[in-house]
Structure 1
Amino acid sequence: HVNESEFILEVIDPVTAEPATDGELVLTNLGRVGSPVIRYRTGDRVRLADGNCPCGRSFRRLPGGILGRLDDMLIVRGVNVFPAAIEGVVRRFATIEEFQIEVFRDGELDEIRVLVELDDASGVPRVREALRASLGIRLEVAAVPVRSLPRFDLKARRVVRR
Structure 2
Amino acid sequence: MLTNLGRICSPAVRYRTGDRVRVAGGPCPCGRTFLRLEGGILGRLDDMLIVRGINVFPAVIEGVVRRFPAIDEFQIEVFRDGELDEVRVLVELDDPAGVRPLQEAFREALGIRLQVAAVPPRSLPRWELKARRVVRR
- Once residues 151 and 158 of structure 1 are traced to their aligned partners in structure 2, the CA distance between those partners, rounded to angstroms, is 10
Relative to the length of structure 2, the TM-score reads: 0.87
Query: Does 1:151 pair with 2:137?
Result: no
What residue number does 1:130 align with?
Answer: 105
Same amino acid, percent of matched pairs: 76
113-122 vs 44-53, which moves further: 44-53
For 1:155 and 1:132, how far apart are their aligned partners in 2? 27
Contact preservation (8 Å) 1:27, 1:42: no
Q: Secondary structure at the match of 2:40?
A: coil
Equivalent residue of 2:90, what SS? strand
Which residue does 2:9 correspond to in 1?
none
Unaligned runs of 5+ in 1: 1-25, 31-35
Partners of 1:116 and 1:77 in 2: CA distance:
22
Deviation readout 1:107-130 (Å, 9 max, x if unpaired): 000000000000001010100110
SS at match of 2:39: coil
Residue 29 of structure 1 deviates from its aligned partner by: 8.3
Local SS of the residue matching 2:18: strand
| Gap change, CA 1:58 and 1:29, over 3 Å in 2 | closer
Provide structure 2 residue ranges, at least 5 long, that are not aligned to the other structure.
6-11
Aligned residues: 132
- The structure with higher relative contact order (CA 8 Å, sep 6+) is 2
Q: Secondary structure at the match of 1:147?
A: coil
Query: Which residue pairs with 2:69 in the alignment?
Result: 94
Alignment of 1:112-123 (within 5 A): 112-123=87-98
RMSD between superposed Cα atoms in Å: 2.2
TM-score (norm 1): 0.74
User: Structure 1 residues 27, 120: CA separation in 2 closer, same or farther (over 3 Å shift)?
Assistant: same
1:24-74 Cα shifts (integer Å, max 9, x gaps): xx43789xxxxx95x721100011122034x44444432321100111111
1-side partners of 2:118 and 2:41: how far apart? 29
Map residues 63-82 of structure 1 onto 2, 5 A cutoff: 63-82=38-57
Q: Which residue of 1 aligns with 2:8?
A: none
Instruction: Give the one of 1, 17, 21 matched to 1:42.
Output: 17
Structure 1 stretches of 4+ moved >6 Å: none
